Amino acid sequence: MVNVIVLCIELLLDVVGLVLGIIVFSRSSDNRLQKAWGMLAITLSLLLLCDNLEWIWLFSQGGIECVTPLNRSTDESSFVVAYCPGDCLTNPQYALQDLLNDLNTNENRLDKALHYDGFSGFRDFINFHRLQYFKEQARLQKDLSVKELMFMSGFTSRSSFYRYFANVEKMSPGEYMDMLHAENK
């Protein structure tokens, strides 16, 4: 919902820019520079207005179902990818192009949607969900090692996994596993 509100605010600002551009253009009788600035404001406002109208139309059509407010600081994520096939996020070969095909969109639109939801890009998005899966499986399958859970979650590089885990959780995966074992005793 937050994303639609942001888009509506952007839409309102685009309309304000368009109106101001028209005012500047119409009030600049002989001044070419003012006319040029007015025309530029009108053109840019129209482009941004069209872009934001398209996004609002996509949200209203359900074309991007993967957007709800996201609180990345908690263990529970409300971010859901509705059009993603079952194990796509844990598949190590799942790439940006696969997600674009699954969502039937282009890279620019996907990148914009991911940024609205707090991700820096596709890699951050996929690693976040793989990490959530890792933590879920660590709670459910206590007999598996960190390495087994890491590969099961879709990570292929041990160093990347450890770096990402430590960056997000502020502890190592081993410390996290020890914490889980201590909770269960």
SS (H, E, C) 24-51: HHHHCCCCHHHHHHHHHHHHHHHHHHHH
How do the pLDDT tens digits run along the chain, 185 residues long?
446 677 778 888 888 888 988 998 888 878 888 889 888 988 988 888 887 777 766 666 554 444 333 434 333 333 334 445 567 778 888 888 888 887 777 888 778 777 777 788 888 888 988 998 899 999 888 889 999 999 999 999 999 999 999 999 999 999 999 998 888 76
Handedness of CA 29, 33, 39, 45 (dihedral sign): negative
In our burial notation (b when 16+ CB lie closer than 10 A, e otherwise), range 19-41 reads eebeebbeebeeeeeebeebeeb
Residue 114's pLDDT is 78
* CA–CA distance, 135 with 177 (Å, rounded to integer): 9
Among 119, 122, 115, residue whose Cα is nearest residue 96: 122
The two three-digit tokens of residue 19, written as one number: 């109106």
* The pLDDT of residue 80: 33
In this prediction, residue 172 carries a pLDDT of 92
- What is the distance between the alpha carbons of residues 68 and 121, in angstroms, rounded to a whole number? 17
**Contact in structure between 153 and 141 (CB atoms under 8 Å):** no
- pLDDT value at position 175? 92
pLDDT for residue 69: 37
What is the pLDDT, as a whole number, of residue 181?
A: 84
pLDDT at 146: 92
**The pLDDT value given to residue 57:** 67
- Contact 155/161 with Cβ under 8 angstroms? yes
What does the pLDDT read at residue 4? Answer: 65
Q: What is the pLDDT of residues 133-150, one digit of tens each?
A: 899 999 888 889 999 999
